[in-house]
Amino acid sequence: MSGIVSLAFAPGFFSSAPVRSAVVAGGVVAIVSAVVGVFTVMRGQSFAGHALSDMGTTGGSGAFLVGVSPLWGFVTVSVAAVAAMELIGIRRPRGRDVSTGIVFGAALGLAALFLYWDTTVKNASGAAMTILFGSLFTVSASTVPVVVVLASLSLALVFALFRPLLLSSVSPDLAAARRVPVRLVGIGYLLAMAVAVSLAAYTIGAILSTALLVGPAAAAMRLTKSPWATLVLATLLGTAATLVGIVLAYDSYGWPPAGHGWPVSFFVVTLVFTFYLLAGVPELRRARGDRLPADRRVGERGIARGAGKRGES
């Protein structure tokens, strides 16, 4: 038993302070991302999620420049971006895509400038890597409580809005007829998403945060039939991917190239993607099952068996 444990967890795993911070912050962020992500997928708002984290990059890199934790930069800018998107989106729904695209391009332009200054003026050569691809192991023990508080706020907002949010995600018409303030609920949800995405951007990286947001939810949705089952399974998958990712990344210090661990985010995102692919297997098998009897019937009637074979492959 202890042999297996020491095989899976490299020495020092349980006593390392950075690992402890990573586990707490990573676990909490995985939970909030998964819960918020279920609604993101239901509402078809993955693009908005991605746009928010990309805009957050500007804040993250700006914060680095001023010497504040990038987390604050991510949160401030993506919450502001929600307000901006709402203001732009009011009058012309069709214009929203274009405006989001343009604002989003300008924000990334600023991010490029800030990252350049981070690396040249501030001599923080790892800034670009940290902002874009995250690094759970550099989460300081002092920011962990901040992560926990922000995650709780985001979760509390989603659960406070739960039923009207679900109803308006299913059908805005049904919700409006029940006098649900559909637009307000939508804005509330975007705020919760902005916070969740910022947390994911801070820990997993701005570019990879969408994977943690949408991946576990999309995988869970393939396997479950009810909203609560989806929420629970998405949370389990997201947390599993993050925690296993942390263990593997810690182990990877002993892998080539020696002395340079592989990035945690790589493991987390790869695991999420694997879950998503595996979640598709039952559906695939069902589809084959639906087809097979028909193929057999063709065979029984004595029509060339080759036709059946071709159908199967």
Partner 1 sequence: MRGSRAATVEDSAAALPAEVLAVDRVSVRIRGRAVLDDVSFTIHESELTGLIGSNGAGKTTLFRVILGLTRPCAGRVSIEGGGLSRTNPLVGYVPQKIGLDADLPLRARDLVGLGLDGHRFGFALPSKARRQLVENALEGVDAGRFADARVGTLSGGEQQRVMIAYALVSRPRLLLLDEPLANLDLRSEQEVVELLSLVAREQRVAVLISAHEMNPLLPVMDRVVYLAGGRAASGTTAEVVRPEVLSHLYGHHVDVLHVHGRIIVVAGPSLGSAEAMRAEEADAAADEDT
The residues of the shown chain that bind partner 1, judged by CB under 8 A, are 42, 159-164, 166-167, 170-171, 173-180, 220-222, 224-227, 229-230
Residue 46 beta carbon to partner 1: minimum distance, rounded to whole angstroms: 14
What is the 3 state secondary structure string of the chain?
A: CHHHHHHHCCCCCCCCHHHHHHHHHHHHHHHHHHHHHHHHHHHCCHHHHHHHHHHHHHHHHHHHHHCCCHHHHHHHHHHHHHHHHHHHHCCCHHHHHHHHHHHHHHHHHHHHHHHHHHHHCCCCCCHHHHHHHCCHHHCCCCCHHHHHHHHHHHHHHHHHCHHHHHHHHHCHHHHHHCCCCHHHHHHHHHHHHHHHHHHHHHHHCCCCHHHHHHHHHHHHHHHCCCHHHHHHHHHHHHHHHHHHHHHHHHHHHHCCCCCCCCCHHHHHHHHHHHHHHHHCHHHHHHHHHHHHHHHHHHHHCCCCHHHHHHHHC
Give least dist CB 35 to partner 1, A. Answer: 12
Q: Are 103 and 88 in contact (CB under 8 A)?
A: yes
Please, what is the minimum distance in Å from the beta carbon of residue 232 to partner 1? 11
Q: Which is nearer to partner 1, 286 or 296 (CB)?
A: 286
| Shortest spacing between CB 180 and partner 1, in angstroms | 5
The smaller minimum CB distance to partner 1, of residues 58 and 168, is found at: 168
Give the shortest CB-310-to-partner 1 separation in angstroms: 27
Smallest separation (angstroms) from partner 1 to the CB of 263: 32
- Closer by beta carbon to partner 1, 234 or else 246: 234
For partner 1, which is the closer residue by CB, 201 or 217? 217
Nearer to partner 1, 107 or 237 (CB): 237
Query: Which CB, 129 or 176, lies closer to partner 1?
Result: 176
Comparison of 56 and 216: residue with beta carbon closer to partner 1: 216
Q: How far is the CB of 234 from partner 1 (least distance, A)?
A: 10
